[in-house]
Amino acid sequence: SKKLTAIILRMRKVERKTGCILHVIHIAGTRMKAAGVDELSRCDFMGGIMAGKNPWSYVPLNEDADTRSEGRVADWVKQWWHDEEGKPWCLPRPKATDEVGDGGEGIEFGGYPEREGTIWESSRLVHLEKEDWFRLHEVPGHRLWIPPPAAMSTVMELFAEDHLVN
Protein backbone atom coordinates (compact mmCIF):
# COMPACT_ATOMS: atom_id res chain seq x y z
CA SER A 1 0.00 0.00 0.00
CA LYS A 2 1.27 3.43 -0.87
CA LYS A 3 0.02 4.94 2.41
CA LEU A 4 1.80 2.34 4.52
CA THR A 5 5.02 2.79 2.52
CA ALA A 6 4.80 6.56 3.03
CA ILE A 7 4.35 6.11 6.80
CA ILE A 8 7.35 3.77 7.00
CA LEU A 9 9.47 6.20 4.98
CA ARG A 10 8.50 9.08 7.29
CA MET A 11 9.41 6.98 10.34
CA ARG A 12 12.79 6.08 8.84
CA LYS A 13 13.47 9.75 8.17
CA VAL A 14 12.67 10.57 11.80
CA GLU A 15 15.05 7.82 12.93
CA ARG A 16 17.86 9.17 10.76
CA LYS A 17 17.25 12.79 11.68
CA THR A 18 17.01 12.29 15.44
CA GLY A 19 19.28 9.26 15.86
CA CYS A 20 16.57 7.35 17.70
CA ILE A 21 15.35 3.82 17.08
CA LEU A 22 11.62 3.28 16.67
CA HIS A 23 10.16 -0.13 17.37
CA VAL A 24 6.85 -0.98 15.76
CA ILE A 25 5.00 -3.87 17.37
CA HIS A 26 1.87 -5.52 16.03
CA ILE A 27 -0.81 -6.08 18.65
CA ALA A 28 -3.71 -8.37 17.85
CA GLY A 29 -7.12 -6.73 17.82
CA THR A 30 -8.41 -9.19 20.40
CA ARG A 31 -5.64 -8.16 22.79
CA MET A 32 -6.34 -4.47 22.16
CA LYS A 33 -10.01 -5.02 22.94
CA ALA A 34 -9.18 -6.90 26.14
CA ALA A 35 -6.80 -4.13 27.23
CA GLY A 36 -9.36 -1.44 26.51
CA VAL A 37 -7.22 0.37 23.94
CA ASP A 38 -9.83 -0.23 21.26
CA GLU A 39 -12.50 1.40 23.47
CA LEU A 40 -10.63 4.70 23.51
CA SER A 41 -11.50 5.24 19.86
CA ARG A 42 -15.16 4.83 20.85
CA CYS A 43 -14.87 7.35 23.72
CA ASP A 44 -15.33 4.63 26.35
CA PHE A 45 -12.85 5.54 29.06
CA MET A 46 -13.85 2.93 31.66
CA GLY A 47 -12.45 -0.29 30.19
CA GLY A 48 -9.15 -2.12 30.53
CA ILE A 49 -6.16 0.11 31.14
CA MET A 50 -8.28 3.25 31.47
CA ALA A 51 -10.18 1.59 34.33
CA GLY A 52 -6.90 1.27 36.23
CA LYS A 53 -5.76 -2.23 35.27
CA ASN A 54 -2.03 -2.87 35.00
CA PRO A 55 -1.01 -2.52 31.31
CA TRP A 56 1.63 -5.24 31.70
CA SER A 57 -1.05 -7.78 32.54
CA TYR A 58 -2.00 -7.69 28.85
CA VAL A 59 1.54 -8.41 27.65
CA PRO A 60 2.40 -11.97 28.76
CA LEU A 61 6.19 -11.73 28.67
CA ASN A 62 6.40 -14.37 31.39
CA GLU A 63 4.56 -17.04 29.36
CA ASP A 64 6.23 -19.14 26.69
CA ALA A 65 4.61 -19.85 23.33
CA ASP A 66 3.75 -23.41 24.31
CA THR A 67 1.87 -22.29 27.41
CA ARG A 68 0.01 -19.57 25.52
CA SER A 69 -0.92 -22.03 22.76
CA GLU A 70 -2.02 -24.65 25.32
CA GLY A 71 0.69 -27.13 24.25
CA ARG A 72 0.20 -26.85 20.50
CA VAL A 73 3.78 -25.69 19.77
CA ALA A 74 5.41 -28.75 21.37
CA ASP A 75 2.81 -31.02 19.78
CA TRP A 76 3.59 -29.54 16.37
CA VAL A 77 7.35 -30.11 16.77
CA LYS A 78 6.81 -33.67 18.01
CA GLN A 79 4.56 -34.28 15.01
CA TRP A 80 7.37 -33.77 12.48
CA TRP A 81 10.24 -34.99 14.69
CA HIS A 82 9.78 -38.52 13.31
CA ASP A 83 9.81 -39.54 9.65
CA GLU A 84 7.23 -41.64 7.79
CA GLU A 85 8.67 -44.85 9.28
CA GLY A 86 8.33 -43.52 12.83
CA LYS A 87 12.07 -43.06 13.27
CA PRO A 88 13.58 -39.77 14.46
CA TRP A 89 14.77 -37.82 11.43
CA CYS A 90 18.24 -37.42 12.96
CA LEU A 91 19.17 -41.13 13.11
CA PRO A 92 22.32 -42.08 11.21
CA ARG A 93 21.29 -43.30 7.76
CA PRO A 94 23.30 -45.50 5.41
CA LYS A 95 24.97 -43.64 2.59
CA ALA A 96 23.75 -44.36 -0.93
CA THR A 97 27.13 -45.93 -1.76
CA ASP A 98 26.91 -48.26 1.27
CA GLU A 99 23.55 -49.69 0.26
CA VAL A 100 25.05 -51.68 -2.61
CA GLY A 101 28.56 -52.08 -1.20
CA ASP A 102 28.26 -55.82 -0.54
CA GLY A 103 27.28 -57.04 -3.98
CA GLY A 104 23.75 -55.70 -4.07
CA GLU A 105 22.37 -57.01 -0.79
CA GLY A 106 22.87 -53.68 0.99
CA ILE A 107 24.79 -52.82 4.13
CA GLU A 108 22.66 -51.62 7.02
CA PHE A 109 23.72 -48.59 9.05
CA GLY A 110 26.73 -47.69 6.95
CA GLY A 111 28.41 -51.09 7.24
CA TYR A 112 27.78 -51.62 10.96
CA PRO A 113 25.04 -54.27 11.29
CA GLU A 114 25.50 -54.37 15.07
CA ARG A 115 24.05 -50.85 15.26
CA GLU A 116 20.65 -51.94 13.98
CA GLY A 117 17.97 -51.30 16.59
CA THR A 118 20.22 -48.98 18.59
CA ILE A 119 18.43 -46.04 20.19
CA TRP A 120 20.77 -43.16 19.63
CA GLU A 121 21.03 -40.67 22.45
CA SER A 122 20.87 -37.83 19.96
CA SER A 123 17.60 -39.10 18.49
CA ARG A 124 15.58 -38.15 21.57
CA LEU A 125 13.88 -34.80 21.81
CA VAL A 126 13.88 -33.36 25.30
CA HIS A 127 11.44 -30.55 26.02
CA LEU A 128 13.41 -28.26 28.31
CA GLU A 129 11.66 -26.80 31.33
CA LYS A 130 12.91 -23.80 33.29
CA GLU A 131 14.57 -26.14 35.79
CA ASP A 132 16.68 -27.67 32.98
CA TRP A 133 18.25 -24.45 31.73
CA PHE A 134 21.04 -24.36 34.30
CA ARG A 135 21.83 -28.10 34.16
CA LEU A 136 22.18 -28.56 30.42
CA HIS A 137 25.24 -30.78 30.84
CA GLU A 138 22.91 -33.37 32.41
CA VAL A 139 20.35 -33.32 29.58
CA PRO A 140 21.34 -35.66 26.72
CA GLY A 141 19.93 -35.53 23.22
CA HIS A 142 18.31 -32.82 21.16
CA ARG A 143 16.56 -30.09 23.09
CA LEU A 144 13.38 -28.20 22.47
CA TRP A 145 13.68 -24.73 23.97
CA ILE A 146 10.50 -22.67 24.25
CA PRO A 147 11.42 -19.89 26.68
CA PRO A 148 9.22 -16.91 27.54
CA PRO A 149 10.30 -13.57 26.03
CA ALA A 150 11.27 -12.15 29.45
CA ALA A 151 13.96 -14.83 29.88
CA MET A 152 15.32 -14.66 26.34
CA SER A 153 18.65 -12.93 27.08
CA THR A 154 19.52 -15.47 29.80
CA VAL A 155 18.41 -18.39 27.65
CA MET A 156 20.44 -17.19 24.66
CA GLU A 157 23.53 -16.88 26.84
CA LEU A 158 23.02 -20.42 28.17
CA PHE A 159 22.31 -21.72 24.66
CA ALA A 160 25.51 -20.18 23.29
CA GLU A 161 27.56 -21.62 26.16
CA ASP A 162 26.02 -25.06 25.68
CA HIS A 163 26.55 -24.87 21.92
CA LEU A 164 30.25 -24.24 22.45
CA VAL A 165 30.53 -27.18 24.84
CA ASN A 166 28.62 -29.59 22.61
What is residue 91's predicted lDDT score, i.e. its pLDDT?
60
> What digits encode the pLDDT tens for the residues 54-80?
877 777 888 899 998 999 999 998 888
pLDDT band at 101 (very low <50, low <70, confident <90, very high): very low
User: How many whole angstroms separate alpha carbon 124 and alpha carbon 130?
Assistant: 19
Q: What are phi and psi of 95, to 5 degrees?
A: -75, 155
What's the pTM value of the predicted model, to 2 decimals? 0.54
pLDDT band at 115 (very low <50, low <70, confident <90, very high): low
CB proximity list for 149: less than 8 A, separation 6 or greater:
61
pLDDT band at 9 (very low <50, low <70, confident <90, very high): very high
Give percent above pLDDT 90 in the chain: 17
Q: What are phi and psi of 124, to 5 degrees?
A: -80, 150
User: How many whole angstroms separate alpha carbon 79 and alpha carbon 43?
Assistant: 47
Phi and psi based region of residue 110 (left: phi greater than 0; alpha: psi -120 to 50; beta: remaining): left
What is residue 50's predicted lDDT score, i.e. its pLDDT?
75
What is residue 15's predicted lDDT score, i.e. its pLDDT?
92
Q: What is the largest CA-CA distance in the chain?
A: 82
